[in-house]
């Protein structure tokens, strides 16, 4: 294989996001985000937003490849929780992107701008989202993704299976 093609293939492997995703691994990651967010709110340790934000950006860009938490959840913890439950990857990647934006904004607001209240509001939103995902398997980002598909912002070809998350949930 020509070197350029191999490089492109290697980059797709590194910068790819799994599809499908094991929902059990996603819920493990959400549980750690929930615990981290609660710790930030309880202690005021806004510096913890830096590794949390890194984790989100790593997962958005590479799935579990460059995320130590993602790798641990996928390779070690989720397999111990029983058979995988696969769900579409694109909505999970979108949800990770929302987490990346929220935690990055909270870190910038709290650490660089001194706007602690605004940072804590964003962290509280992370508590809600991560709590719903980890405890009840309700992914707010996935629901937002489905809504964006319904109004045509996200094209149907991105994830045909995702087009009607509401009926999938009812069938489950």
pLDDT tens, residue by residue, 110-124: 999 999 999 999 999
Which residues fall within 8 angstroms of residue 74, CB to CB, at 6 or more apart?
A: 22, 25, 64
Residue with tokens 């590194």: 14
**Does the structure show a pLDDT above 70 at 104?**
yes
The predicted pLDDT at position 8 comes to 54
- The tokens describing 32, both together, are 């750690």
128-167 residue pLDDT tens: 999 999 999 999 999 999 999 999 999 888 887 665 554 5
User: What is the three-class DSSP state of 86?
Assistant: strand
39-76 residue pLDDT tens: 999 999 999 999 999 999 999 999 999 999 999 999 99
pTM: 0.86
């Amino acid at each position: 294989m020509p070197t350029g093609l191999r490089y492109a293939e290697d980059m797709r492997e590194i910068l790819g996001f799994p599809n499908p995703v094991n929902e059990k691994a996603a819920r493990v990651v959400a549980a750690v985000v929930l615990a981290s967010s609660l710790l930030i709110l309880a202690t005021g340790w806004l510096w913890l937003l830096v590794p949390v934000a890194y984790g989100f950006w790593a997962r958005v860009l590479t799935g579990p490849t460059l995320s130590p938490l993602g790798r641990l959840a996928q390779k070690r913890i989720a397999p111990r929780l029983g058979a995988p439950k696969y769900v579409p990857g694109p909505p999970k990647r979108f949800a990770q992107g929302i987490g990346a934006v929220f935690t990055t904004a909270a870190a910038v607001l709290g650490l660089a701008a001194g706007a602690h209240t605004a940072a804590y509001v964003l962290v509280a939103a992370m508590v809600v989202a991560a709590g719903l995902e980890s405890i009840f398997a309700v992914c707010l980002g996935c629901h937002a993704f489905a809504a964006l598909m319904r109004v045509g912002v996200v094209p149907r070809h991105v994830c045909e299976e995702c087009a009607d998350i509401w009926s999938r949930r009812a069938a489950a």
